[in-house]
Chains A and B, each alone.
Chain A
Amino acid sequence: MTLIGWSQILLFFGLVLAVTKPLGTYLFRVFEGDSQPLPRVLGPVERVLLRLCGAADRREQTWVRYSLALLAFSLFSVLSVYLLQRLQHLLPLNPQGLGAVGPELAFNTAASFTTNTNWQSYGGESTLSYLSQMAGLAWQNFVSAAAGIGVALALARGFTRRPGPEGQKTLGNFWVDLIRGTLYVLLPVCFVYALFLVSQGVLQNFSAYPELVTLEGGRQTLAMGPVASQEAIKMLGTNGGGFFNANSAHPFENPTPLTNLVQMFSIFAIPAALTHTYGKMAGDTKQGWALFAAMSVLFFAGVATAYAAETQPNAAVASAAQVARAGNMEGKEVRYGLSASALFATVTTDASCGAVNSMHDSFNPLGGLVPLVNMQLGEVIFGGVGAGLYGILIMVVLSVFIAGLMVGRTPEYLGKKIEAKEMKLAMLYVLIFPLFILGLAAVAAVIPQGVSSLNDAGPHGLSEILYAYTSGTANNGSAFAGLNANTPFWNITLGLAMLGGRFLMIVPALALAGSMVGKKVVPAGPGTFPTNGTLFTGLLVSVVVIVGALTFFPVLSLGPIVEHFLAGAGKVY
Chain B
Amino acid sequence: MVSHLVTALRACVVTLVLTGLLYPLAVTGVAQLLFPGEANGSLVKDERGRVVGSALIGQGFSRAGYFQPRPSAAGSGYDGAASSGSNLGPTSQKLKARVAADAERLRRENPDAPGPVPGELVTASASGLDPHLSPEAARWQAPRVARARGVAPERVLALLDSQVEGRTLGVLGEPRVNVLLLNLAMDRQFGRLPAEPSGGTGADARGVAAPVGPGAP
Contact = CB atoms under 8 A, between A and B. Distances in A.
A143 interface: yes
A265 to B, nearest CB: 12
A316 B52 contact: no
Nearest to A74: B8
B79 A316 contact: no
A512 to B, nearest CB: 22
A233 B24 CA distance: 11
Most buried by A among B28, B43, B85, B204: B85
Q: How large is the interface on B (under 10, 10 to 19, 20 to 34, 35 or more residues)?
A: 35 or more
B129 A245 contact: no
A320 B122 contact: yes
Most buried by A among B58, B66, B95: B95
B215 A138 contact: no
Contacts of B54: 222, 251-252
A201 B38 contact: yes
Interface stretch (A32-40, A277-285, A409-417, A453-461): A453-461
Given A125-B82, A251-B130, A215 B214 contact: no
B158 interface: no
Interface in B163-191: 167-174, 176, 180, 183-184, 187
A482 interface: yes
Given A143-B15, A220-B78, A333 B83 contact: no
Contact of B53 (A202, A212, A228, A482): A212
A247 B216 CA distance: 8
B215 A483 contact: yes
Contact of B32 (A54, A205, A337, A455): A205
A245 B15 contact: no
A206 interface: yes
Nearest to A357: B126
B213 A340 contact: no
B89 interface: yes
B35 A199 contact: yes
A498 to B, nearest CB: 14
B76 to A, nearest CB: 10
Contact of B89 (A76, A80, A362): A362
Given A229-B23, A331-B85, A334-B133, A316 B99 contact: yes
Interface stretch (A65-73, A300-308, A374-382, A500-508): A65-73
Given A54-B6, A361-B88, A220 B59 contact: yes
B56 A251 contact: yes
Contacts of A125: 81-83
A178 B15 CA distance: 9
Nearest to A484: B213
A182 B129 CA distance: 34
B50 A333 contact: no
A69 B8 contact: yes
B53 A220 contact: yes
A123 interface: yes
A490 B52 CA distance: 40
Nearest to B129: A251
B92 A573 contact: yes
A191 to B, nearest CB: 6
Interface string A240-269: 101011110111100111101100000000
Contacts of A364: 90
Nearest to B5: A72
B96 A319 contact: yes
Interface string B73-112: 0100011111111111111110110011001101100000
B82 A330 contact: no
Interface stretch (A290-298, A472-480, A515-523): A472-480
A170 interface: no
A112 to B, nearest CB: 12
Contact of B38 (A65, A202, A261): A202
B216 A215 contact: no
A355 interface: yes
Given A246-B85, A252-B57, A315-B91, A453 B213 contact: yes
A8 interface: yes
Interface stretch (A154-162, A441-449, A564-572): A564-572
A50 B99 CA distance: 59
Nearest to A364: B90
B171 A7 contact: yes
A54 B3 CA distance: 9
Nearest to B95: A316
B212 interface: yes
A195 interface: yes
Interface in A1-47: 4, 7-8, 11
A561 interface: no
Contact of B90 (A230, A247, A334, A567): A567
Contacts of A205: 28, 32, 39-41
B83 A134 contact: no
Contact of A80 (B16, B93, B127): B16
A177 to B, nearest CB: 12
A557 interface: no
Nearest to A68: B4
A125 B51 CA distance: 22
Interface in A316-331: 316-317, 319-320, 322-331
A80 B13 CA distance: 10
A203 B8 contact: no
B91 A134 contact: no
A109 to B, nearest CB: 12
B203 A229 contact: no
A198 B79 CA distance: 22
Given A228-B27, A324-B117, A455-B211, A330 B16 contact: no
B125 A256 contact: no
* CB-based closest 10 A-B pairs: A257-B173, A218-B203, A484-B213, A482-B87, A139-B20, A249-B126, A337-B174, A246-B83, A72-B8, A359-B85
11 contacts: A76-B9, A178-B15, A191-B23, A203-B41, A207-B40, A222-B80, A252-B41, A329-B120, A334-B132, A361-B88, A482-B212
Interface of B: 1, 3-12, 14-16, 18-21, 23-24, 26-28, 30-32, 34-35, 38-43, 46, 50-63, 66, 70, 74, 78-93, 95-96, 99-100, 103-104, 106-107, 115-120, 122-134, 167-174, 176, 180, 183-184, 187, 195, 197, 202-204, 211-217
Given A200-B38, A329-B119, A359-B85, 15 more contacts: A139-B15, A190-B23, A191-B27, A212-B51, A215-B183, A218-B202, A220-B60, A246-B84, A249-B126, A255-B56, A257-B167, A257-B172, A324-B118, A333-B127, A572-B96
